[in-house]
Structure 1
Amino acid sequence: MKVNQLSLGLTLPISWSREDFLVAPGNEAALAWIDRWPDWPGQALVLHGHAGSGKTHLAQIWAATASHARIVGPDQVRVGQVDDLARQPLAVDDADCVGDPAALFHLINMVRERGHTLLLTGSLPPARWPFALPDLMSRLKAMPSQVIAEPDDALLAAVLVKLFADRQLNVGEEVIRYLVPRIERSCHAARHWVAALDAAALAESRAVTVALARKVLEAQAD
């Protein structure tokens, strides 16, 4: 098997620790909400932002260090599972993708009735979630919500440095300076390009340089 085939199959564990959450002006208010728990109005909170903005990381921090909550995905929110899900503090990641709005409505009510706390994450503000159930939308709009902004240059650079370090890649500052203004301003995009550069460097048995970064970005732009 060729080296480039091997490199594309590599997966690395993601650290969800608080120490690995990079705080910046765009996300510090969301982190403050996590630290404010359990003093959340209505025992609920919605965090929203683009993919890779840190919503899942904050949910993991909340579950691990404060509430000992359970974290589930949208596919797990079903009518037959509501009673089980509402037995403890709960985070529903990508809650705006729940396929059973009635189940989400009953879950919100049951978690509150049992005195637990609910954290929901989504890509858009809750008022723009694609649910046609009026009672559910009323509940969502009443919850406190906090946006997580796209990273600024300093945070995006720090994310890139961390992602390269996680892969044990020694990358010069000139590579970071080259990438920051040329990639989408999101942590999701940063992960994509770091993985692509890692794969290219392994395939060509060379270091990650500006020349390699230019080659990879231009190739994927075609």
Structure 2
Amino acid sequence: MSGSSQSGGVPQQLPLGVSLRDDATFANFFQSPDDGNRQVVGMLNAFACGQSPEQVVYLWGEPGSGVTHLLQSACQVAEASGRSFQYLPLSDLIDNDPEAIVEGLECLDLVCIDDLQQIEGRTDWQTALFHLYNRLRDSGKQLLLGARQSPRNLPLTLADLKSRLQWGLTFQLHPLSDNDKVAALVRRSKLRGFDLPEDVALYILHRAPRNTRALFTLLEQLDRASLQAQRKITIPFVKQVLNI
């Protein structure tokens, strides 16, 4: 997804079906007091608004830790701030021509590249991103990167790109504990406008994939089913809808 500002940024017109999740916001990113992610959210909010001197930020963490959520949240803030931006999930775009994908992105205020681990073994993508990195720095624009590994451990063959990726700020996102996942489900339900009892959240957690993205997808499914059936979300209802 791309966005444009009134400052002359040229939005990309990529027929790739890339979009942002409406619920990917900083406000509904669950932050445990003990997980260390609170500092990251505050920094990213300032970064996305253009109120940070940093040009490059690199987020990494295991699946479900919230990397994609925060990259998309940064795009939402950039859009609300009138800044031009582009979100590129490489898991969806890796089979496209990298030069065509990144052409002209240095004209935008913020470029967010997700799933960076996808470029392992892809010299074409590594070369294209290396040159994009340099163009963004030269034009004074911002780059936000997301991956499953730290920049030091990312298995890249292009040493110059690997070196560049270690120049900016790097943050590891810490996964939620089971207790935090229950609290996150309860909080997300309130943001969606319904109450999820804690015992129901525990039931879901113990029988569904522990990945937070998968858990929130199930929550959305329950919300839709509850609205359609005009029923509260109880354990029997969860059993009926999710078959778990």
Q: Which TM-score applies when normalising by structure 1?
A: 0.73
SS of equivalent to 1:171: coil
Distance 1:161 1:77 in 2: 42
Q: Deviations over 1:4-25 (max 9, x none)?
A: xxxxxxxxx6323333222224
2:12 corresponding residue in structure 1: none
Residue identity (%):
27
Residue in structure 1 matched with residue 98 of structure 2 by the alignment: 78
Counterparts of residues 1-222 of structure 1 (less than 5 Å): 14-24=22-32, 25-26=34-35, 27-37=37-47, 38-40=52-54, 43-66=55-78, 68=83, 69-74=85-90, 75=93, 78-88=98-108, 89-98=110-119, 99=122, 100-165=125-190, 170-180=195-205, 183-194=208-219, 208-211=233-236, 213=238
Q: In 2, are the aligned partners of 1:92 and 1:120 still within 8 Å (CA)?
A: yes
- Name the CA distance, whole Å, in 2 between partners of 1:124 and 1:207: 41
Q: Distance in 2 between matches of 1:32 and 1:205?
A: 38
RMSD: 3.3
Give the gaps of 5 or more residues in structure 2.
1-20
Is the Cα contact below 8 Å between 1:45 and 1:145 reproduced in 2? Answer: yes
Q: C-alpha offsets along residues 90-121 of structure 1, whole Å, 9 cap, x if unaligned?
A: 11122222451111111111111111111001
List per-residue Cα deviations over 1:164-187 (Å, max 9, x = no partner): 456666532221233345555431
Structure 1 letter corresponding to 2:127:
A
What is the rounded CA distance, in whole Å, between the counterparts of 2:97 and 2:62 in structure 1?
A: 22
TM-score, length-normalised on structure 2? 0.67
Q: Which is richer in helix?
A: 1
Q: Kindly tell me: are residues 187 and 14 of structure 1, through their superposed partners in 2, closer, same or farther at Cα, counting changes over 3 Å?
A: farther
SS in structure 2 at match of 1:120: strand
Is the Cα–Cα contact under 8 Å of residues 64 and 175 in structure 2 kept in the other structure? no
**Residue 112 of structure 1: SS of its match in structure 2?**
helix
Contact residue 182 and residue 198 of structure 2 kept, 8 A: no
Q: Give distance in 2, aligned partners of 1:185 and 1:209.
A: 20
Write out per-residue CA displacement over residues 60-97 of structure 1, whole angstroms, 9 at most, x where no aligned residue. Answer: 33233357332222226712443411112211122222
